[in-house]
Structure 1
């Protein structure tokens, strides 16, 4: 069922508000996050091997083998859902071709919760409570 004209306007307004309030969150939400299929294949094989070790440990009364199997399964699932490491820029290329080290990052922006708390306090102050 398509959205009505009013609903589309409200949705667009909410998108603009989100983009202006927290552009980093809006950018994160609009990006299509996909993980390479290879990560899931490796994780699936790891989970299967871990399960096999767990079952073999239980069947042969070897608790240490069961623990190893559990840890392998846990590691495989963690590997599947962990964000892949992306190398960021290591410096700035100047006009003459030399690489200048990137400037250290300054003070971080306040997080979402601190911004929400600040807004809450401002609203409470405006209402006179």
Structure 2
């Protein structure tokens, strides 16, 4: 349920008062910015890749295959950590995949799914599989099939 304009103003006033009263607490409650989180992921991933590379080289040099494999797996995991974007969090703290639901937002704040628009041509010719079957039958009738 979205907040009214008055509620938003009151909330902003409360936030400003909290920041003025105790800036350290306000900073701690605000949390890290997305850029800082992404920077941290990249740094941890880079360090993991370097450590994994060292383990691979040591494993190959010492003839310990398990150490080399563990280093390679560490490199893959750390590279994935550094290169993948973090998951977004919803208001309830649940990870959100993608950009959320698509559709119109109603007065109650909930999204209503968008209706799929079917073209007149697609409606007349049927589904994808039906069109493929029609093409196959047409080719078979004309002797162009297998």
TM-score, normalised via structure 2 length:
0.40
Identify the structure with bigger relative contact order (alpha carbons < 8 Å, sequence gap 6+). Answer: 2
Q: Which has the larger radius of gyration?
A: 2
TM-score, normalised via structure 1 length:
0.45
